[in-house]
Amino acid sequence: MNNINCPICSHALSVRAAKGRKSNKPFIMLVCQKDGRHFRGFITDQQYVKKVLEDQQLLGSGMGNG
């Protein structure tokens, strides 16, 4: 798996599944492992998110690895 690094401190970003506060829709969040204030990115394309989450469930592995 390719690592994506924080543009501020160069630590690997963590990938997490999350839900929107108001919409309650799932999305994928990328966040700096060292300090979450450095970088937070969100992937909100619902078709892509659905595919990724389904693939993760089939593989039996959770998200959260950087």
Q: Which two tokens stand for residue 14?
A: 């963590």
pLDDT of residue 62: 53
Radius of gyration, CA atoms only, the chain: 12
| 66 pLDDT more than 80 | no
Q: Find where tokens 């543009």 sit.
A: 7
- For the stretch 17-37, pLDDT in tens is 899 899 999 999 999 999 999
- For the stretch 5-16, pLDDT in tens is 999 999 999 988
In the chain, what are the domain boundaries? 13-59
pLDDT of residue 55: 85
Mean pLDDT of the residues in the chain: 86
Whole-number Å distance between alpha carbons of 39 and 55: 26
